[in-house]
Amino acid sequence: MKKIAIFLSILLSLSLTLCSFTSSDNEPTATISEETETCIACHASLHPGIVKSWENSLHAKISPIEANKKDNLEKRMSSMPENEALSKVTVGCYECHSLNTDKHADSFEHNGYTINVVVTPDDCSACHNEEKKQYDNNLMSHAYANLMENEVYQSLKSTINNDITFKEGSFHYGETNKLTDADACLHCHGTKLEVKGTFTKETDFGELSFPNIEGWPNQGVGRINPDGSKGSCTSCHPRHTFSIKTARTPDACAQCHKGPDVPAYKVYQVSSHGKIYNSSKDKYDLTAVPWVIGKDFDIPTCATCHVSLITDEDGTVVAQRTHQFNDRLSSRLFGVPYAHPHPISPETHKIVNDAGLQLATNLDGSPASSFLIDEQEQEKRNNTMKQICNKCHSSNWTDNHFARLTDVIRTTNESTLAATQILTKIWEEGYADNSNLFDEYIERQWVDVWLFHANGTRLSAAMAGGGDYGVFADGRYQLTNKLFYLLEWLKNNQDKNSKKKKKK
Amino acid sequence: MKKIAIFLSILLSLSLTLCSFTSSDNEPTATISEETETCIACHASLHPGIVKSWENSLHAKISPIEANKKDNLEKRMSSMPENEALSKVTVGCYECHSLNTDKHADSFEHNGYTINVVVTPDDCSACHNEEKKQYDNNLMSHAYANLMENEVYQSLKSTINNDITFKEGSFHYGETNKLTDADACLHCHGTKLEVKGTFTKETDFGELSFPNIEGWPNQGVGRINPDGSKGSCTSCHPRHTFSIKTARTPDACAQCHKGPDVPAYKVYQVSSHGKIYNSSKDKYDLTAVPWVIGKDFDIPTCATCHVSLITDEDGTVVAQRTHQFNDRLSSRLFGVPYAHPHPISPETHKIVNDAGLQLATNLDGSPASSFLIDEQEQEKRNNTMKQICNKCHSSNWTDNHFARLTDVIRTTNESTLAATQILTKIWEEGYADNSNLFDEYIERQWVDVWLFHANGTRLSAAMAGGGDYGVFADGRYQLTNKLFYLLEWLKNNQDKNSKKKKKK
Amino acid sequence: MKKIAIFLSILLSLSLTLCSFTSSDNEPTATISEETETCIACHASLHPGIVKSWENSLHAKISPIEANKKDNLEKRMSSMPENEALSKVTVGCYECHSLNTDKHADSFEHNGYTINVVVTPDDCSACHNEEKKQYDNNLMSHAYANLMENEVYQSLKSTINNDITFKEGSFHYGETNKLTDADACLHCHGTKLEVKGTFTKETDFGELSFPNIEGWPNQGVGRINPDGSKGSCTSCHPRHTFSIKTARTPDACAQCHKGPDVPAYKVYQVSSHGKIYNSSKDKYDLTAVPWVIGKDFDIPTCATCHVSLITDEDGTVVAQRTHQFNDRLSSRLFGVPYAHPHPISPETHKIVNDAGLQLATNLDGSPASSFLIDEQEQEKRNNTMKQICNKCHSSNWTDNHFARLTDVIRTTNESTLAATQILTKIWEEGYADNSNLFDEYIERQWVDVWLFHANGTRLSAAMAGGGDYGVFADGRYQLTNKLFYLLEWLKNNQDKNSKKKKKK
């Protein structure tokens, strides 16, 4: 019964699939592999959404061997698959879901084929090896361990995510709740995908078995995959179109960079760049490779400055493609108490400051320099970025912009220091308990200062979004509010304490 | 003079109108009724904006009798008007504004015709009877009474909306201010439209009389209309295009679902769904009926999951159209202290908990079960929703998503319980006064916990928007901030109190 | 070497430029001046982004003399340049950057031409004289002095922007930090551009000298320019497209009107207007002049109501173009403790209240009437605005809307008064120090009341965005929260104080 259903489906689907491709456009038409046709046979009706997404993708229209014939700057791939058979067909279901099944803990037998559920950067590296290697050096690919193996962040996370109950006058925290972690921090940082046996299901095509994957679904940037690789290309290039257009829109970045801790998307929206992009985006070409400044766009999105290969009209490279992102970034501005030069290694959880904390600065803001890039490297990265700025702005404009940013880093670090000095006094005088730095109201006011207000102000300056995100929208106004509160709180407690002492 | 002006206007307008319609597209062209032509005669110049909106609408291009000939799944109407004359002409000004004038308190004589100002769901039900009946079962249509006849919410509203003055050391509240209510809560919930006599006005066409409608303008979802009906179809299908496209965009929902109490729109924007929709919306067909998954779109908007008739390409129905919305929702997540199974009746103001409060849960979070759907019905509704998810996702993916949501409901209810326990202690020990639950600062901190942070965290989980709206963007981080504050506040007061006692 | 490079560049660029223009559309093609061709020769490769932006602009496609032939309502210019030679060529690099070099402190010799860096409203007034004169009467053009020469705002600014350090138990403020000011408040208000000598730079075309401009870059609305003029047309019409479309989108306004102090953009987004605009903007013509209601759009953007020339289809003017903006505004709603009738003069820093403060109201909310427009002028301005509303709404609708707004002004002023009364008591009883009104936490709570919550509530009412921005999204809910906090804080201090007294 199951086999007949599959067979009928294949017949039906083949004709449907052929139809849908004859109406395709000028792109070269490549053959779909027999295996992928079998997949589509059932999944076209089971999962029409993703099948159609894929049909609209470049993957469905061109084989690696054809794609590889493009001129160097126009290439969207950087390596050829080892298996020659793969290179001659379109990049379909089977081609991606069967690549390295021996390495995949989520591999399973499915209607005569061995496939795996999760496609990983290691799988994508068959054709996109350069990008995968760059991404390995990106902080993002290490986002899981950078959070989960950093004791400072763990103690913050435990006060936010763990189940909390109130008993006999105080709060009690549960153990790590994996479901909460997956819904909260790891939504962006990436979960750890672990196969916990299999489950069986009655389907339209008979009873079938599937791996049961804990931590699934997730598309976080540092996901720990069942093949041991890190990250998820679909964070930015969503399945199953794997659209370069989506990845180049600010919408792709918004998913993780919108909250008060990283308001990059919000800042962009109210920057001059965002204003022009939003009002004119219908006329830009966000799919061209290379991405030609002037011809394809005259305003940058996030990807323009941080990722994409940019050339001018005569093919001169303005910026090389990078999936490392911080290639063009001299300082780390957010997620940390003090801004500081970028870490040398993407594994920030391995950084240790003088006090033994896994932070890149000491509590007074001085950097843990041996873990960080030096001034020369900082300048080199700034210059890479400035190359892009200077295609629309005078060097005077650009240099003054960076001078402002440098000063904003200094002043926001100074404000964080003031907050830290007050909190340190509060701890020293015993009005709060620093056994966990994050589980009292007054400690959270200090966290707000750096995690939201100092960080937001820096992002605002970095992206020339200035104005409100540096002032009234979780910026310097709120930062100084919190400073005033911290001092008032300290004084109130000193006042109470001095009364107690007097009594004695 | 007045009659001549009207006559000339009619002549002018007829030619204009004919012109504008010859340039129309392939849609079947229907006749405009004589009455509507008379309306347009003057209003084309008086109110060109709305006349043109209407000209761009389907209502202007097809008569009910023609529209009714469409195949079942393609039909955009569900009943035929009783008055046969109406069915043969386009659905113009007169057709809608004259339907049930005998029931309308806002009816008036206007240039020889009896018409009414406000078009209501009862009027629309002439052709859209199914949708009207579904909407009657939607919580939204009862949004006025659900707020205005619930004493708990009324006491909250009175502390927010009533005029407030400071005299002799305390605040004094004015009576209900109808203008403020209309500008604030009732903007979304809907005002009560009451005709208060008529007023006379000198116009280009002579002196004319109109009904004076208190509470007007308003397009709130639970508006109490002059014909006694409830709701406003224009909340989502804005006048006078009555666009299905607008209603299907997340923009339609944003109007009432963006604030910190219901950040659904914000969550969607940073979800994977929102990311793809925003970067690719130009290629989706948001007007097709039925709405075919894969063909018309490959990513859901709010309407896809909550309202629309969804089919696959071979016409199999994935989800039936519903204007009840909670047909596909098992739990009520927002606007309430604790999440709970959906109410059986849309009239939530009729629910009473053990303490006699009009809330669906007790103060400890236990549900007022007799008013709520049972587990079987919850499962049924979840399954209806999952049908849609599963057209793009594996059932493992979908089931894990719902498992996370279920756990988030549990943990956020638990956090709300902790906050409630502390506040209860504060009330019991006399540091705050629970005669009104909402008029002291410390009480408002408790409100923030459930109304903003617990609710927002749940919406974030429900829509797989996760990340920041569940953590740093009014999520668990702010929720625990407030918990810490509540406890500190309680302890400070206990401390002060113990000193007082010692003195005695 | 330098000259040869320039010569080769010219040759190369001429052919490129010609190519790019043969592919241009139906617009009349005008000649590019020889000088501008020389500019493009180098800058096409140096700054391809802005050269291409310009090539897409109307300035690149038509000469003033041609543009001036258009019918009156269709004209996009209001004066002819004095220099006849300018009027016959397209409006290119040289035409704008060389107009009044004798008045420009930033003029310099550049490859044989005298040009200046910054193009100012005085320069633009060669062809747009009416608009420039209108803008001189706009508060915006005086935004620099209105902030920097108002001592009240200066004392607020000093507590936000100045470097802050914590020493010996208290905060110490640095002097004015120009870099911070430029990044923060002056990002929108405009910086003061001052030429500080020149700097020399090695370029692809040899060593070149440029003026060193302090305060650059900046596009703030009240920028003080090197020619002494005020403002920046590029705030809304971004360089080098100078797009009327961008200026007409809400995105243009978002840059400065999105934060909690002026959430106009946010309110618009959740208004009915914003909902329809967002879901249908692809079908509107945002470039037409005149802007015809019904034909080009059926929903307003910010510009529709506040700036643009609006006509109906037969050419009747609904609203005259104005770059004064408050031509259509009767009250000043934001940036001030109390709403009040609009100031007569745009130089608000010259207003003085009874207490000698540079505010348009006294601390009790009573207006400094001699500086403000009278009721007649208020009514006139309201009527101008209502002309636009009434093209889509009945006068009953419109009048009721304005009645609500009037009441919201009253109630939010009343709430601000309550907050001010409490803070005054706090000052009087010595619990806070009013030597600076903004440098203590409790004072900032008072600022929040008016600067964020009262203002936001008013904007919400004014733009019929109602709902959340008037309630839970920094609206009345948060406003009353702060009122409750202010009172609790006062009582706590009175309580402590009474204990101290008892001891004595």
Supply the DSSP symbol for B313.
T
What the block records as the tokens of A387 is: 């190359």
CA–CA dist C263, C2 (Å, integer): 51
Q: Which of C147, C166, C502 to mutate to test the interface with A (most CBs of A within 10 A)?
A: C166
C 438-457 residues inside an 8 A Cβ radius of A: 439-442, 444, 451-452
Residue A338 distance to chain B (closest CA, Å): 19
Name the minimum distance, in Å, from the CA of B375 to any CA of chain A.
Answer: 22
CB contact under 8 A, C259 and A472: yes
Q: Which pLDDT score is estimated for B29?
A: 64
**DSSP states of C460-471 as a string?**
HHHTT--GGGGT
- Choose among A245, A409, A416: nearest CA to A341: A409
Nearest-5° Cα angle at C447, C442 to C453: 120
**Residue C25 is which amino acid?**
D
pLDDT tens, residue by residue, B355-379: 999 999 999 999 999 999 999 999 9
pLDDT at position B205, please? 80
**SS3 for B425?**
helix
Q: Could you tell me which of A484, A495, A483 has the C-alpha nearest to residue A450?
A: A483
DSSP A193-219: PEEEEEEEEEETTEEEEEEEEET-S--
- How far is it, in rounded angstroms, from Cα B189 to Cα B183? 11
Check pLDDT > 90 for residue C15: no
Cβ–Cβ of C48/A471 closer than 8 Å?
Answer: no
Closest to A73 (Cα-Cα) out of A310, A400, A407: A310
Q: Would the pLDDT of C240 be above 90?
A: yes
Token pair of C489 as six digits: 């804080």
> Considering only CB atoms, which chain B residues are within 8 Å of C269?
254, 258
User: H-helix or E-strand containing B207?
Assistant: strand B206-214
- Kindly determine whether residue C183 and residue A484, on different chains, have CB atoms separated by under 8 Å: no
Q: Which of C268, C266, C410, C261 is nearest to C331 (CA)?
A: C410
Quick one: CA dihedral C430, C432, C438, C444, positive or negative? negative
Give me the percent of chain B exceeding a pLDDT of 90: 90
Residue written as token pair 């103060």: B363
Which pLDDT score, from 0 to 100, does residue C11 have? 43
B422 CB-near residues (< 8 Å, 6+ apart): A166, B446, B483, B486, B487, B490
Q: How many percent of chain C have pLDDT more than 70?
A: 94
Check CB contact of B47 with chain C, cutoff 8 Å. yes
Compute the mean pLDDT over every residue in chain B, rounded to the nearest whole number: 93
Residue-wise pLDDT for C359-417, tens only, equals 999 999 999 999 999 999 999 999 999 999 999 999 999 999 999 999 999 999 999 99
Q: Do B403 and A245 touch (CB under 8 A)?
A: no
Percent of chain C with pLDDT over 90: 90
Q: How far, in Å, CA of B103 to CA of C376, rounded?
A: 42
pLDDT at B165 over 80: yes
Q: Which of C274, C397, C408 is the closest to B216 by Cβ? A: C397
Checking if the pLDDT of B7 tops 80, the result is no
Residue A48 has pLDDT above 90, yes or no: yes
Q: How confident is the model at residue C54 (pLDDT cuts 50, 70, 90)?
A: very high
Q: Which chains touch C (3 or more CB pairs under 8 A)?
A: A, B
Q: Specify the pLDDT at position C3.
A: 47
Nearest to B311 by CA among B334, B288, B327: B288
**HEC states along A74-119?**
HCCCCCCCCCHHHHHECCCHHHHHCCCCCCCCCEEEECCEEEECCC
Contacts for C65 with CB less than 8 Å, ≥ 6 apart: C80, C87, C88
Give the pLDDT band (50/70/90) at residue C28. Answer: low
For residues B176 and C48, give the distance between their C-alpha atoms in angstroms, rounded to a whole number: 61
pLDDT level of residue B39 (50, 70, 90 thresholds): very high
pLDDT of residue B501: 80
Give B300: exposed, middle or buried? Use CB within 10 Å, 0-12, 13-18, 19+: buried
> What pLDDT is stored for residue A62 in this prediction?
95
Report B:195-234 residues touching C (Cβ under 8 A).
199, 201, 210, 212-213, 216-217, 219
What average pLDDT does chain C have?
93
Compute the count of residue pairs across chains A and C with CB atoms less than 8 Å apart.
Answer: 175
| Residue B92 near residue B59 (C-beta atoms within 8 A) | yes
**In this structure, what are the phi and psi dihedrals at residue C192, rounded to the nearest 5 degrees?**
-95, 115
As given in the structure block, the two tokens for residue A82 are 């080892």
Q: What is the pLDDT of residues B218-227, one digit of tens each?
A: 999 999 999 9
Residue C483 CA to residue C489 CA, distance in Å, equals: 10
State how far residue B363 is from chain A, nearest Cα, in angstroms.
15
Q: Is B183 on the interface with C (CB under 8 A)?
A: yes
Rounded Cα–Cα distance for residues C488 and B433 (Å): 13
Nearest to B363 by CA among B302, B288, B416: B416
Compare B466 and C485 and report the one with higher pLDDT: C485
Chains that touch B (3 or more CB pairs under 8 A): A, C
Averaged pLDDT of chain A: 93
A:244-273 residues touching chain C, CB 8 A cutoff: 269-272
Inter-chain residue contact B255 with C275, CB threshold 8 Å:
yes
Phi–psi pair at A151, nearest 5 degrees: -65, -35
Amino acid at the residue C226: P
**Among the partner residues C275, C467, C471, nearest to B238 by beta-carbon distance:** C275
Cis peptide leading into residue A240 (ω within 30°): yes
Mean pLDDT, rounded, for A86-93: 96
| Residue C11: how many other CB atoms lie within 10 Å | 11
Q: Which of A279, A415, A468 sits opposite C246 (nearest CB)?
A: A279
Whose CA is closest to A187, among B402, B268, B466? B466
pLDDT for A205 equals 80
All structural domains of chain B: 1-99 (no CATH), 127-238 (no CATH), 260-498 (1.20.850.10)
Q: Are strands C317-319 and C310-311 parallel, antiparallel or unpaired?
A: antiparallel
Helix axes B34-46, B48-55, angle to 10 degrees: 130
Q: Does C47 touch chain A (CB under 8 A)?
A: yes
Confidence of residue A465 (pLDDT cuts 50, 70, 90): confident
DSSP 8-state class, residue C7: H
Query: Is C335 at the interface with chain A, CB within 8 A?
Result: no
Question: Vertex A273, ends C325 and A276: CA angle to 5°?
Answer: 55
Nearest to B454 by CA among B484, B480, B436, B421: B480
* A166 within 8 A of B421, measured Cβ to Cβ: yes
Residue C13 pLDDT > 70: no
pLDDT of C25 above 80: no
Do residues B470 and B457 lie in contact, with contact meaning Cβ atoms separated by under 8 Å?
Answer: yes
**By the CB < 8 Å criterion, does B365 face chain A?**
no
List, for residues B115-159, the tens digit of each pLDDT value. Answer: 999 999 999 999 999 999 999 999 999 999 999 999 999 999 999
Detail the DSSP E strand segments found in B99-181: 107-110, 113-116, 164-167, 170-173
- To 10 degrees, what angle do helices C34-46 and C2-22 make? 100
CA dist list (Å): C273 to B254, C277, C388? 12, 6, 13
How many Å apart are CA C86 and CA C336, to the nearest integer?
44
Where are the alpha helices (H) located in B261-355, listed in sequence order?
264-269, 272-280, 302-306
Q: Which of C299, C422, C470 sits opposite B166 (nearest CB)?
A: C422
Interface contact flag, A275 C254, Cβ < 8 Å: yes
Cβ-based neighbours of A385, under 8 Å, separated by 6 or more: A305, A328, A329, A330
pLDDT bracket for residue C203 (50, 70, 90): confident
Q: Which residues of C touch A293 (CB under 8 A)?
A: 48-49, 52
Cβ pair B5, B206 in contact under 8 A: yes
Q: Residue C466 and residue B246: Cβ atoms within 8 Å?
A: no
Question: Nearest C-alpha of chain C: how many angstroms from A490?
Answer: 9
**Does the pLDDT at position B293 exceed 70?**
yes
Establish how many alpha carbons lie within 13 A of residue C159's alpha carbon, considering only the half-sphere containing its beta carbon: 23
B391: chain A residues, CB-CB within 8 Å: 46-49
Angle between helices A395-428 and A476-503 (to 10 degrees): 20
Record the tokens describing residue A92, joined without a space: 């379909």
- From A266, which residue of chain C is nearest by alpha-carbon distance? C258
Taking contacts as CB-CB distances below 8 angstroms, the residues of chain B near A218 are: none
From the list A52, A53, A255, which residue is nearest B272 (CB)?
A255
Q: At what angle do helices B476-503 and A151-161 cross, to 10 degrees?
A: 80
Please state, in angstroms and rounded to a whole number, the distance separating the CA atoms of residues C80 and B177.
Answer: 55
Contacts 24+ apart (CB under 8 A), A169-177: A170/B487, A171/A439, A171/B418, A171/B483, A171/B487, A177/B407, A177/B411
Distance CA B86, CA B126 (A): 10
Residue reference for tokens 């549960």: A174
Q: Which residues of B touch A243 (CB under 8 A)?
A: 276, 279-280
Straight-line distance from the first to the last Cα atom of chain B, in angstroms, rounded to the nearest whole number: 89
pLDDT at C22 over 90: no
What residues pair up with C114 in beta bridges, in sequence order? C109
